[in-house]
Amino acid sequence: MSVLPDIAALKELMVGWRHDLHAHPETAFEEVRTSALIAELLISFGIEVHTGLARTGVVGVIRGHAPGPWVGLRADMDALDVPESNVFAHRSSTPGKMHACGHDGHTSMLLGAARHLAAKRDFAGTVAVIFQPAEENEGGGRAMVEDGLFERFPIETVYGLHNWPGLELGHFAIRTGPQMASYDIFEITLDGQGAHAAMPHLGRDSMVAAAQLVTALQTIASRDANPLDAIVVSVTQIHGGDTWNVLPQQAVLRGTVRAFDARVQDLAERRISQIAQGIAATFGIRAGLRYERRYPPTVNAAGPARIAAAAATALVGADKVDLDPRPSMGAEDFAFLQQARPGAYIWLGAGPGQAGCMLHNPGYDFNDEILTTGASYWVEVVRQVLGVV
Ligand SMILES: [Zn+2]
Ligand SMILES: [Zn+2]
């Protein structure tokens, strides 16, 4: 069985919520309509609702028929600054924004599970359904933790889920240890001396230094880090200059570092600084570095990872649960919840991901075929942690 019968009956409702959310995308900490819709639905399910955590976050508290521990189930609910290229009826009605990561689907799945759990309450303990803002870039997960998520609600373990294009439809993948990478950003400012482009010897050229620097930074992964430690250093922006015949005073480079280990992050920060200073010295200019650690790696604790795997296996069978997937160099702010409490983050296969249906693509749309599988997974997690009474 891959879908619980009670959840299968909710499919039409869940698709309706999902399409409504997709048509009304809201980005980081501005999920006002989304948050109000979630709160309204949870109240209509008879669930105790707490709003305003990290501004737009919502927590629903579902008490079982018998006392027991607290478990947290988390969905993200923010959209992205991506102009949508789809033309179907539920396309984004907000120019420049869209649900290109499937958080509309994550929200609908958790709403479906919440409705079912509130109707049955056949478990010993309490379920907190956590709807989190600003997963993309802005660390809504950290904001929820800082706003007292775990003080206000005595959640002992916490579970997260992401739809995963490229993984077979309805399959699951989870591993103990790192599942997704850390997310650091850096900005290097190269200050030279502007000059006429025809007379470079009269200035100090920041552009040639920038070009050398992009190449040199690639040696951090190939020559500084242990070959068995995963790391990516990507320069994603180069800014400098305004016209054809002027060597600009300044060039600015920005980029991101991904890793699974704080030692590797330390190494990257130290080497980016040294390499930038060294290149700057070579060309007689100055370099400044801003290095910011945004998200820690998403690391699954052994106990919750076992429970997540057992829940997925109970639902779809062992042959559809990969217990040793390759970690992703992508990042996820569920990591902040996992730093506060032991947790497990699982991927739910969304199918081949062809024809633009990859995460963050302007042609992406959440695959509605997995709504009921995801909601059933949440119910199975509750069964695994809190049992059935
Ligand atoms: Zn995303
Ligand atoms: Zn996402």
263-283 pLDDT, tens digit each? 999 999 999 999 999 999 999
63 and 16 assigned to the same domain: yes
**Pairing mode, if any, of strands 231-239 and 57-63?**
unpaired
Between the CA of residue 111 and those of 7, 9, 227, what are the distances in Å? 11, 14, 43
Burial class (CB in 10 A: 0-12, 13-18, 19+), 22: buried
Residue 206 near residue 217 (C-beta atoms within 8 A): no
Domain boundary among 280, 295, 310: 295
> 204 and 175, same structural domain?
no
* Residue pLDDT, tens place only, 237-265: 999 999 999 999 999 999 999 999 999 99
DSSP H stretches of helix in 69-136: 103-120
Percentage of the chain lying above the pLDDT 90 cut: 97
Residue where a domain terminates, one of 295, 324, 339: 295
- Is residue 387 a contact partner of residue 76, using CB atoms and an 8 Å limit? no
The alpha carbon of 75 and the centre of ligand 1 are apart by a number of angstroms equal to 12
Ligand nearest to the CA of residue 347, numbered in listed order: 2
Helix (H, G, I), strand (E, B) or coil at 373: helix
What is the distance in A from the centroid of ligand 1 to the CA of 305?
Answer: 22
Query: Alpha-carbon distance 364 to 352, whole Å?
Result: 12
Tell me, what's the pLDDT at 352?
87
pLDDT higher than threshold 90 for residue 353: no
Residue 272's pLDDT is: 98
CA of 356 to the centre of ligand 1 (A): 15
- Whether the pLDDT of residue 384 is over 60: the answer is yes
The 3-state DSSP class for residue 70 equals strand
Range of the domain at 122: 5-180+297-386
- State the angle between helix axes of 262-283 and 206-217 in degrees (0 to 180), rounded to the nearest 10: 150
pLDDT per residue as tens digits for the range 294-348: 999 999 999 999 999 999 999 999 999 999 999 999 999 999 999 999 999 999 9
Q: What does R_g of the chain's alpha carbons equal in angstroms?
A: 23
Instruction: Check whether residue 243 and residue 259 sit in a common domain.
Output: yes
Contacts for 320 with CB less than 8 Å, ≥ 6 apart? 2, 168, 170, 171, 172, 312
Give residue 23 CA to ligand 2 midpoint distance, Å. Answer: 17
DSSP state of 193: B
What's the rounded mean pLDDT across residues 36-59? 98
Range 167-179 burial, b when 16+ CB lie within 10 A, else e = bebbbbbbbbebb
CATH number of the domain that 328 lies in? 3.40.630.10
Sign, CA torsion 39/41/42/44 = positive
337 in the same domain as 204: no
The pLDDT, as a whole number, for residue 389 is 85
The amino acid that residue 363 corresponds to is: G
Look at residues 238, 273, 295 and tell me which one is the last residue of a structural domain.
295
48 and 194 co-located in one domain: no
Same domain, 213 and 98: no
How many independent structural domains does the chain possess?
2
pLDDT at 326: 96
**Within this chain, do residues 168 and 33 fall inside the same structural domain, yes or no?**
yes
DSSP designation for 359: T
Distance 163 CA to ligand 2 centre (A): 8
Q: Is the pLDDT of residue 184 over 60?
A: yes
Region 166-192 average pLDDT: 97
Tell how far the Cα of 292 is from the centroid of ligand 1, in angstroms.
19
What integer best gives the mean pLDDT of the chain?
A: 97
What CATH number does the domain containing 225 carry? 3.30.70.360
Answer yes or no: do 322 and 213 share one domain. Answer: no
Ligand 1 centre distance from Cα of residue 293 (Å): 18
| pLDDT at site 253 | 98
What is the CA(324)–ligand 1 centre distance, in A?
Answer: 22
Do 239 and 113 lie in one domain? The reply is: no
Dist. CA 136 → ligand 2 center (Å): 7
Please give the structure tokens belonging to residue 47: 């669930």
pLDDT tier, 356 (very low <50, low <70, confident <90, very high otherwise): low
Q: Is the pLDDT of residue 73 over 80?
A: yes
Q: How confident is the model at residue 5 (pLDDT cuts 50, 70, 90)?
A: very high
Average pLDDT over residues 219-229: 97
pTM of model > 0.85:
yes
Amino acid 259: pLDDT? 98
Helices (H), 46-201: 103-120, 140-146, 149-152
The answer to whether residues 301 and 237 belong to one domain is no
On the question of pLDDT at 1 being above 60, the answer is no
Query: Residue range 134-159: average pLDDT?
Result: 97
Is residue 16 located within the same domain as residue 125? Answer: yes
Residue 357 is predicted with a pLDDT of 81
**Is residue 113 scored above 90 in pLDDT?**
yes
The pLDDT score that the predictor gives to residue 355 is 61
